[in-house]
Amino acid sequence: MLLAELETFLSRPIAPTRRVALGQLELPCDPAPGFGGVLLGGVAARFGADLDEDFHDEVRHLMTDLEHGRRIVQPRLRHRLQQDRIGLQRSVHRLVGHGESLQFEFDPEHGTPAQHVLCAVYAAGRVPASARPAVMDAVRKGFAWRGGSDTALISALAGHGGMAHAGAVADPVSWALELLELRGVATLPSRREIQRAYRSRLRDAHPDHGAADDGAADRISQLGEARRILLG
């Protein structure tokens, strides 16, 4: 299932001028940073590590300017942002869901690291102002990311400590209520009810109480994150 998509148009390496343009943007960011912020942060992580270090400060300044809605002087990173797509090659990055798991689908065959990072940053500047700080923060996290699995990266970008599940990104509170089997309550449970449900589910998930060893660490981590979300 397609959850977020970033379409860009990029000048070829042999082109006399360096240009980028944004295409179709499917970047849901409610609640922020949402699937859109996770995708843009993922693009920044995937290509930021290969970006010339001479450009790193300029990228950070560009993020700040876009986050605050300032006028962006062109070019940036020696590339000009334009509306016209004629003569540019298309590139698409996606965040997809397989059941409850999330996965990036990057297109590294077209464009350069500078072009991909630029487009992720410019796209973050296009999201609604209310979500822009959280989305831009996800891009910053991605840009600073060095190594680690996609699962760990998605968890970090979404703002969660121990999981990268579609439900947790789309609606963290509902995901946490369901995981702790508190979904049927009329109002948000009390702190005492949350703690009691957490301890009960933890016993069910722990190998010391008869649960399977396989996947136990992930289950326990998810329960801890669900408790943190509800208590937070």
* Order of strands, sheet of 19-26, starting from the edge strand that comes earlier in the sequence: 80-81, 19-26, 2-10, 89-98, 101-105
C-alpha to C-alpha distance for 206 and 208, rounded to whole angstroms? 5
Q: Give Cβ neighbours of residue 184 (< 8 Å, ≥ 6 apart).
A: none
pLDDT of residue 83: 96
- Overall pTM > 0.85: no
Q: Tell me the pLDDT tens digit for each residue of 96-110.
A: 987 778 899 999 999
- Among 3-17, 53-67, 168-182, the least confident range: 168-182
pLDDT of residue 82 exceeding 60: yes
Q: Tell me the pLDDT tens digit for each residue of 126-144.
A: 999 999 999 999 999 999 9
Q: What is the domain class of 171-231 according to CATH?
A: mainly alpha
pLDDT of residue 67 exceeding 50: yes
pLDDT of residue 40: 98
Which one is predicted more confidently, 58 or 181?
58
Which one is predicted more confidently, 216 or 191?
191
**What burial class does residue 44 get, using C-beta atoms within 10 Å of its C-beta: 0-12 exposed, 13-18 middle, 19+ buried?**
buried
C-alpha to C-alpha distance for 208 and 166, rounded to whole angstroms? 29
For all residues of the chain together, what is the average pLDDT? 89
CA distance to 4, 18, 86, per residue, from 28 (Å): 7, 29, 27
Q: Tell me the pLDDT tens digit for each residue of 183-209.
A: 766 577 888 888 988 888 888 888 877
Maximum average pLDDT range among 142-146, 194-198, 209-213, 217-221? 142-146
Q: Residue ranges per domain, the chain? A: 2-164, 171-231
pLDDT of residue 162: 45
As a three-state string, the secondary structure of 19-69 is EEEEEEEECCCCCCCHHHHHHHHHHHHHHHCCCCHHHHHHHHHHHHHHHCC
Is residue 158 within 8 A of residue 104, CB to CB? The reply is no
Q: What is the three-class DSSP state of 186?
A: coil
Q: Tell me the pLDDT tens digit for each residue of 26-40.
A: 999 988 899 999 999
pLDDT of residue 232: 72
pLDDT confidence bin for 227, thresholds 50/70/90: confident
